[in-house]
Structure 1
Amino acid sequence: MSTVEQMLYNIQKFQILSLFANDSANRTVSPAYAFAWDKNLFPVGSHGCDWHDAHEACFKIRKTQVDELAEFLDDLEREGKTISFYQLEDHYDVRSGSTWDRMDLVFVCRYFRLDGWFSEEFWKGMAGHSDCPSESHSILQDYEAKDVHFE
């Protein structure tokens, strides 16, 4: 990716997060969409706007990764199954240096939950108990303007 592409991505990210965090602005950016930009993950399923499409190569967590995880979780839920976060890490072989790391999985799962994907019971089965890493508990948290930090 070129320096210009990265600069345009950063400008777009700043504008989206600024709009989301501005208390006086009408909330036109969803928490899920702002979260995706904040955590540098491609916001699959965001049909209200296409601001992210031109920057696909700039996102740290790629569209293909997000799509594949969505499909995997969707298959589980359709079959009436649940998965713990540790099982999800094992499925993606996180401890052996796969393309996923723990926090990327947490971020994408939190994005899915914020965007209304899958049932609350599904998410509680993954991260709503003591048999999961503490980082995964954030999947169940909302994302608000006060969570945006420009540091």
Structure 2
Amino acid sequence: MSAIEKALYNIQKFQILSLFTSNSATKNVSQAYAFAWEKDLFPIGHHGCDWHLPHEESFKISKAEVDELGDFLDGIEREGKTITFYQLEDHYGVRNGSSWERMDLVFACRYFRLNGWFTEEFWKGMVGHSDCPSESHSILRDYEPRDVYFE
């Protein structure tokens, strides 16, 4: 990515996070959309705005990765099953040098939950017990303006 593309991406990211954290804005950005931008995750579930589309190549966690993970989790839930976070890591080979890192999976899953995708029972089956790393418990948390730091 060129320096200009990176600069434009960062300006857009700043504007979205600024709007999300603004106390004076009359319209706001959703938790999920702001979270995706903060974590550099392509926001696949937002078709009402297209601010992210020109920056597809700039996101660390790509559209293809987010799409594939969403499809994989959707298939599990449609079968009435659940998956633990450690099983999810094993599926993607996180400890064997895959393109996925633990925190990227946490961010993607939290983004899906913030979007209201999958049931709370599904998420609790993934991280509501001891068969998961402590970092993954953040999947169950909301994302608030106070969570954004401009440092």
Q: Give the drift of 1:28.
A: 2.1
Instruction: Give 1:71's aligned amino acid.
Output: D
Name the amino acid aligned to 2:11. Answer: I
Shift, 1:48, TM fit: 1.6
Distance 1:112 1:30 in 2: 13
Corresponding position of 2:18: 18
Tell me what 2:35 maps to: 35
Looking at structure 1, the residues matched to 49 and 32 of structure 2 have their Cα atoms a distance apart, in angstroms, of 13
The alignment status of 1:126 with 2:126, answered yes or no, reads: yes
- Please report how far the alpha carbon of residue 74 of structure 1 lies from its aligned counterpart in structure 2 after TM superposition: 0.3
List gaps (5 residues or longer) in structure 1. Answer: none
Q: Which one-letter code corresponds to 1:4 in the other structure?
A: I
| 1:18-65 deviation per Cα after TM superposition (whole angstroms, max 9, x unaligned) | 000011212420000000000000001111201000000000000000
Question: Structure 2 length as normaliser, TM-score?
Answer: 0.98
Mapping 1:71-150, distance limit 5 Å: 71-150=71-150
CA change 1:27–1:120 in 2 (3 A) is farther
* Stretches (4+) displaced over 4 A: none
Q: Determine the C-alpha separation between the residues in 2 that align with 1:93 and 1:122.
A: 21
CA distance in 2, matches of 1:144, 1:24: 15
Distance 1:22 1:129 in 2: 35
**Any stretches of 5+ residues in structure 2 without a counterpart?**
none
2:39 counterpart letter in structure 1:
K
Q: Which deviations, in whole Å up to 9, do the C-alpha atoms of 1:71-129 show, x marking residues without a partner?
A: 00000000001000000000000001100000000000000000011000000000111
Cα distance in 1, alignment partners of residues 80 and 27 from structure 2: 35
Among all aligned residue pairs of Structure 1 and Structure 2, give the percentage whose two residues are the same amino acid: 74
| In 2, Cα distance between equivalents of 1:91 and 1:27 | 40
